[in-house]
A and B are shown apart, each in its own frame.
Chain A
Amino acid sequence: MTSPSTDTGAGLLRRHPDGTASRGSRILGIVLLVSVAVFLYVALIASEPDKSLDAQGQLVRIMYIHVPSAIGCYTAFFVTAVASAMYLWKRTTGWDALAASSAEIGVIFVILTLMSGSIWGHTTWGTWWEWDPRLTSTALMFVLYVGYLALRRAILDPTSRAKQSAILGIIAFINVPIVHYSVDWWRSLHQTATVASLDPQIDGLRLFALMFGMVVAMMLYVWLMMHRFRLAFAEAALEAKGLDLALAERRAEARADGGAVPPSVHTEGAS
């Protein structure tokens, strides 16, 4: 039995009637699952350990997670900044929802970047954490975007929330190029970019694992964005509906106080 208003499809493309999936997100999800399986095979089994002069051995496999997750958070915060600027120009819910969704996914990628970097640093540098320019600026980036998400929860008025978080979304992005170029601008314990030129420091399947990891991270970002954006949009619609109901109740109360017969206001499903 299916909902008359929805075509939920069949097999792997079947959609939950209440879900945030579409045919496009389902197809991308299947491609993503296959890509993740291929990535894990290449990254963990097929590719050779690092045997160069500054050999990392098996630990080079951590880089296939660390670098793509860093690229993922750069992308996410760039989208947040662009969507924030677009919100300040257009003032539409969609741009605000896009900025917020991308910031949240960016924070997930930053957590993964910091975790994988810390695990790698423990074995290579002998410390879980070092107040090095790259690590410090990345930690600052994490704090800034957690602050962005906290700001969104702290302001109740949707218009004020969207405007103030859009301003913060643009300001916070200033730190992103600082994170990226910190290894070039200051003396850093962190290594410089592995694949920054036409002469990368790795090759063969290790280079493929790193590059394919970036592709998978981008696909994962897009897939997560499709679902998170739709969730944010549904939350905004629910919030607007709640505000409408609250306004209707207040008007009804005002009319009742003024001696008028209170109209019946149905609040079922408002919570």
Chain B
Amino acid sequence: MGVVLAEASPWTYVAATYGAAVGLLGGYAAWVIAKGRKVNRQLPPEDRRWSS
């Protein structure tokens, strides 16, 4: 592992950083959207303040 990383080009590290950013932020955004729908489904329509 260490040898592989030592020989990696700078672009490998750049790609890892941008991949982590897209994965982390995209994954969190998807989780928030999905959980929002799940929680809202359990509320009666009159309590869904943000849906109107």
**Residues in chain A within 8 A of chain B (CB atoms):** 3, 5-6, 15-22, 40, 43-44, 57-59, 61-62, 65-66, 69, 105, 108, 111-112, 115-116, 119-120, 122-123, 220, 223-224, 227-228, 230-231, 233-235, 237-238, 241, 269
Across the interface, do A111 and B24 meet the contact criterion of CB distance under 8 Å?
A: yes
> With A18-B38, A119-B16 given, can you name 10 additional A-B contacts, CB distance below 8 Å?
A19-B51, A21-B50, A22-B50, A108-B28, A119-B20, A120-B13, A227-B32, A227-B36, A237-B47, A238-B39
Chain B at the A interface: SS class: helix
Cα–Cα, bound, A85→B9 (Å): 48
Interface string of B8-50 (1 = CB under 8 A from A): 0011011011101100110011001101111111111101111
Nearest 4 CB-CB pairings of A with B: A20-B36, A58-B10, A230-B50, A231-B36
Cα–Cα, bound, A15→B24 (Å): 24
Q: Which partner residue on chain B sits nearest A107 by CB separation?
A: B28
Cα–Cα, bound, A269→B13 (Å): 49
Cα–Cα, bound, A108→B20 (Å): 11
Q: Which partner residue on chain B sits nearest A101 by CB separation?
A: B32
Chain A at the B interface: SS class: helix
**Residues in chain B within 8 A of chain A (CB atoms):** 5, 10-11, 13-14, 16-18, 20-21, 24-25, 28-29, 32-33, 35-45, 47-52
Q: Which partner residue on chain A sits nearest B45 by CB separation?
A: A5
Across the interface, do A59 and B39 meet the contact criterion of CB distance under 8 Å?
A: no
| Residues in B whose Cβ lies below 8 Å from that of A122 | 5, 13
Across the interface, do B36 and A123 meet the contact criterion of CB distance under 8 Å?
A: no
| Residues in B whose Cβ lies below 8 Å from that of A112 | 20-21, 24-25
A119-B47 contact given A231-B32, A238-B39, CB 8 Å threshold? no
Across the interface, do B51 and A18 meet the contact criterion of CB distance under 8 Å?
A: yes
A17-B18 contact given A108-B24, A120-B13, A237-B43, CB 8 Å threshold? no
Least Cβ–Cβ distance between A260 and chain B, in angstroms: 28
Could you jot down 8 A-B contacts, CB within 8 Å? Answer: A18-B38, A20-B36, A21-B33, A58-B14, A108-B28, A112-B25, A230-B49, A237-B49
